Amino acid sequence: MRANWLASPPLVVAFAIAGTTRIDLTRDALGTGSDGRAVYLRDLWPTGADIAQAMAQVSADLFARRYADVFTGPPAWQAIEVTPSGTYAWDDSTYIKEPPFFGRPRRRRSRRSPGRGFSRSSAIR
């Protein structure tokens, strides 16, 4: 059975460290430390105090200075050919697509937006 889901970047990293998604991150070890002891997500996850300390170092002024030229970028970024547009020119869909590396023949799918709803007769099975 194949399964796809979305996860926050920290959880993606945690599963990658563990080498599997078939673990309970709340109680199973992600791996073993250099000292031979089990390492759990709770050992790596920041505390509320850690997050508050990091947030206290960020200000609107710092953000504005840091990102003032974010759209300029280095020469390699500037060399990327793009079509000027107010929005990104998606293919046919703005929904998550099946990755091509699964290699299965593609089925025709409805072009309806998931936000518009579906009638029972139009459901993909």
Mark residue 115 as left, alpha or beta (left: phi above 0; alpha: psi -120 to 50; beta: remaining).
alpha
Q: Which of 57-61, 99-103, 104-108 has the lowest mean pLDDT?
A: 104-108
Task: Look at residue 125 in the predicted model and tell me its pLDDT.
Answer: 45
How far lies 48's CA from each of 13, 17, 37, 93, in Å?
20, 23, 25, 39
Note the pTM of the prediction, 2 decimals. 0.49
Q: Is the per-residue pLDDT at 56 higher than 70? A: yes
